[in-house]
Structure 1
Amino acid sequence: MADTENTIELCAKDDVAEGEALKVETGDLELAVYRVEDTFYVTDNMCTHGPGELSEGYLEGHVIECDFHGGQFDIRNGEIVAPPCIVKLKTYKVVPHDSAVVIEAPAD
């Protein structure tokens, strides 16, 4: 198991279906957890352009499209794929774990 002082357990791996996103709230963080080809990715849940929640968006491969205005991001690195977004999406490092999705705790 990962060092729990520097990590945050978000959910069980089985909670996230292949090709889907799951909204997870922990502390002050509202995150989207994605599962693509049995690999997990985690980003902020809120779109950087407006009030859209990315966990409610459309995931195709490694690209999440905000259902509010159609902006797109690469979930692997937060890079903008399609406008109207102009601010990169925050991503979180996923830590290997047998049964849970765990991220490194963000620095304050």
Structure 2
Amino acid sequence: MSNMVKIAMTSDLSPGTGTTIEMEDQSIALFNVEGNFYAIADTCTHRGGSLGEGRLNGDIVTCPKHGAHFNVKTGEVTFPPARFGVKTFPVTIEGDDVLITLD
């Protein structure tokens, strides 16, 4: 069953930044890409680095541990060493609230 939850306020993240949020026993990386918000699983599939702590360049986040790149819109790996993508979460903006859908 899907569950929509508030994860942040739009004012919490400036464009070009990301953060990690713990929500219902999950670590979620939230990013602001030119005013659009995207949420992915926070844990890199290579060796467990925090993607929310990574460097964001456009819609690509670089894992701070070993440099794997992930597209924050799709969760796909765009540069190794990671071989597998990460889960994405649908994001909805209601007023100033950033909501994500958890399953």
TM over 0.5, shorter chain: yes
Q: Is 1:63 matched with 2:60? A: yes
Could you tell which deviates more after superposition, 34-43 or 91-100? Answer: 91-100
Q: Who wins on radius of gyration, i.e. which is larger?
A: 1
Q: TM-score, normalised by structure 2?
A: 0.93
Q: 1:9-64 CA distances to partner (integer Å, 9 max, x unpaired)?
A: 10111111110001111111111110011000000111111121011111000000
Identity %: 31
Match for residue 32 of structure 2? 35
SS in 1 for 2:27: strand
Runs of 4+ in structure 1 off by over 6 angstroms are: none
Residue ranges of structure 2 left out of the alignment (5+ in a row): none
Return the structure number with greater strand share: 2
Alignment pair present for 1:93 and 2:90: yes
Q: How many residues align?
A: 102
So what's the TM-score if we normalise by structure 1?
0.89
Which residue type is aligned with residue 77 of structure 1? T
1:99 deviation in Å? 0.7
Root-mean-square deviation over aligned CA pairs: 1.2
Q: Secondary structure at the match of 2:94?
A: coil
What amino acid does structure 1 have at the position aligned with 2:98? V
